[in-house]
Amino acid sequence: MEKVFSEHFARSRNIFTAIDPRIKIIFSGAMVILILTSQVFYVGLLALALSVISLICIKIPWKVILLRMSEPLGIALTIMLIKIFFYHDQFLDALLLASKIFGSTSIMLFLSLTTSLDKLLAAACWFKAPRVWVEICLLTYRYIFVLWEDAATVMDSQKVRLGYCGIFRSLRSLGVLSGAIIIRAYDQSVATYEAMLSRGYNCLPSRLPAGRQGRQAKDKFG
pLDDT of res. 1? 55
| Within a domain: 203 | yes
pLDDT of res. 220? 54
| Residue 221 pLDDT exceeds 60 | no
Counting residues of the chain whose pLDDT is more than 70, the rounded percentage is 87
pLDDT of res. 206? 44
Amino acid at 55: L
| Within a domain: 7 | no
Domain tally, the chain: 2
Mean pLDDT of the 133-143 span? 84
pLDDT digits (tens, 9 = 90+) for 147-204: 888 888 888 888 888 888 888 888 888 888 889 889 988 888 888 888 888 888 775 5
| Within a domain: 12 | no
pLDDT of res. 203? 58
| Within a domain: 213 | yes
Tell whether 86 and 139 lie within a shared domain.
no
The 10 Å CB-count burial string (b at 16+, else e) for 15-24 is: ebbeeebbeb
- Please name the helix (run of DSSP H) or strand (run of DSSP E) that holds residue 88, with its range, or none: none
| Within a domain: 31 | yes
From CA 112, how far away is CA 107, in angstroms rounded? 9
Tell whether 159 and 104 lie within a shared domain.
no
Tell whether 185 and 105 lie within a shared domain.
no
Amino acid at 34: L
Q: Identify the DSSP state of 209.
A: P
Give the domain extent around 157: 122-221
Model-level pTM greater than 0.95?
no
